[in-house]
Amino acid sequence: MDMVGGLLATTRGTFHLSRTAEILPHVANAIARAFFDQVTRASAHYAERGDDAYAGFVWPPGSREAFLGDIRAYELGSDHDVFQAAGFRVPMVYFHDYPDVTIHTNMDQPENLDATKLGRIAYMGAGIAWTLAALPQEEAGRLLDYTRAVAQERVAQAQMSGEGRDRDLASAAAVAEGNEMLASVARLWPVSVVPIGNADAKLSALARADSSDGRVAVRNPRIVGPLNVYYYNYLSEALGADRQSPRLAARSEGVLAVECFNLVDGRRSVSEIRDILSGRYSPVPLAEVSEYMDLLAKAKAITWK
């Protein structure tokens, strides 16, 4: 949780719930969505009709504002990208208000908090943590069914996105992600999981169809977390502040560059990394991934095999 519960009229921030990184699919995403949807429905019902405030997830009673928030894809911020980096690989959902016009100023005061909004967020956070830690075994089958439905919805969305090879990549990647989400349920509860499909053969065929940059990189073992954390930038330190910003860093607010580095494992080629980014996030030209990898090599963040 990062700067949550701010009073909308003061901070101008609405609530964002960000998924885990796409290369770390987990049932936590489905659980978070279930709690978010429940709070949103109850909040809208209370705001529209008025009834028992506690049944409408309003603490303390009094506010009639509907809960303003949404579910986002992976967003960089705070520890969300640090612990999901390749050196740690901890799946996390990220709670944060955005924007917050008072953050890191002398106007960042307790009076800016909205007790109603904070209560709803506390409920979601506690519910997600309790479900992951202590959901009774007899409820695991229902969670598995719900997770399968969420995964299949993402597959359907991928099948309707883009065209040609990029759509095929997105579709196959969505199946692979769905299977990983289901597998994470089985790691937490003894349930039998049936995959939603087999994407391995299709992904292999797609990789063979475009392998024009077959170089394989090895990550510098001294770098465990991401390259850019708060006020530190590894590339600026290694190459100088006047270095040219890579085109990949401008895509998806920097997410693709972070995930590109996370995918370096000494086995994947540059073309394979490009395909994973395109399938799990959005289409990206191979030239931009190759350019960024060359920059990482120049900065000694990676070495070529």
Q: Give the pairing type, strands 14-18 and 94-98.
A: antiparallel
- Confidence (pLDDT) at 61: 53
CA max distance for the chain: 65
Average pLDDT over residues 73-93: 90
Helix (H, G, I), strand (E, B) or coil at 290: helix
Identify the residue whose tokens are 């609530």: 15
The CA-CA-CA angle for residues 28, 31, 36, to 5°, reads 120
In 189-239, where does DSSP find H-type helix?
200-209, 234-239
Measured from the Cβ of residue 52, the count of other Cβ atoms closer than 10 Å reads: 9
pLDDT digits (tens, 9 = 90+) for 42-66: 887 777 777 666 665 655 555 556 6
- pLDDT for 245 equals 86
Identify the CA nearest to 97 among candidates 13, 40, 11, 10. Answer: 13
* Model pLDDT for residues 114-147, shown as the tens digit of each residue: 888 888 899 999 999 999 999 999 999 999 999 9
- Provide the pLDDT for residue 260: 97
* pLDDT tens-digit readout, 201-254: 777 777 766 778 999 999 999 999 999 888 889 999 999 977 788 999 999 999
Give residue-wise pLDDT tens across range 211-226.
789 999 999 999 999 9
Q: Tokens 């009709």 label which residue?
A: 49
Here the tokens at position 292 are 């960024």
CA–CA distances in Å: residue 175 to residues 126, 146, 184, 258: 30, 16, 14, 23
**What phi, psi does 178 have (nearest 5°)?**
-60, -40
Give the CA count within 13 Å in the CB-facing half-sphere of 60. Answer: 0
